[in-house]
Amino acid sequence: MTRVRVVQQDIATLDVDAVTNAANDHLWMGAGVAGALRRAGGDEIEREAMAKGPIRVGDAIVTGGGRLRARYVIHAAVMGQDLRTSAEAIERATRSTLARANDIGARTIALPAFGTGVGGFPLDECARIMVRAANAYEGPIEEIDFVLRGDDAVNAFERALSQVKSS
């Protein structure tokens, strides 16, 4: 059974098989989580990602982890060039992320809160969508960590996780 956890930490420092980047459909790595991963892991991550793009919103691709401790980066397109996202895009991107993690044989994966930074999506709704998708997942991933910054994000994901466990 897959363990789902909520962790407050810098996603760029984690020692997991794969970290996830909440990307745009052209896979540029500018601000937020993407910028942190590029700064820590090197520009080669962005170059490799952009060579595989553009992709459809909701889809995900895999690159190497560069200088990150994580072996892979999964880039999930949660928004287009308009920098807006939706519940459907977040759900599809979460499911695509888990499918790509399966493809590479990842046992541990870290995901940020998709679309809540640049995309401006409501944190509580994002948490419900992503936790529900993680809880529905059936496969070989042993641990799915929602890696968040700030008490509001941690609290939103912990609430969503406790609601899923109690239903």
Between 157 and 167, where is the model more confident? 157
pLDDT of 83 over the 90 cut: no
The model carries a pTM of 0.96
pLDDT at 81: 84
Contact 17, 158 (CB under 8 A): no
Closest CA to 11 of 156, 149, 159, 154: 149
Contact 96, 58 (CB under 8 A): yes
Domains defined for the chain, CATH in brackets: 3-166 (3.40.220.10)
Average pLDDT of the residues in 78-92: 93
Ramachandran bin of 75, using left for φ above 0, alpha for ψ from -120 to 50, beta for the remaining angles: beta
Helix residue ranges, H only, the chain? 32-41, 43-51, 87-103, 123-136, 151-166
Closest CA to 78 of 95, 87, 90: 90
pLDDT at 167: 72
Give the pair of three-digit tokens for residue 60: 């995900």
Helix 87-103 to helix 123-136 angle, to the nearest 10 degrees? 40
Give the pair of three-digit tokens for residue 69: 């401790």
pLDDT at 32: 85
| Pairing status of strand 72-79 against strand 60-64 | antiparallel
Predicted confidence band of residue 130 (pLDDT cuts 50, 70, 90): very high
Give the pair of three-digit tokens for residue 42: 């090197």
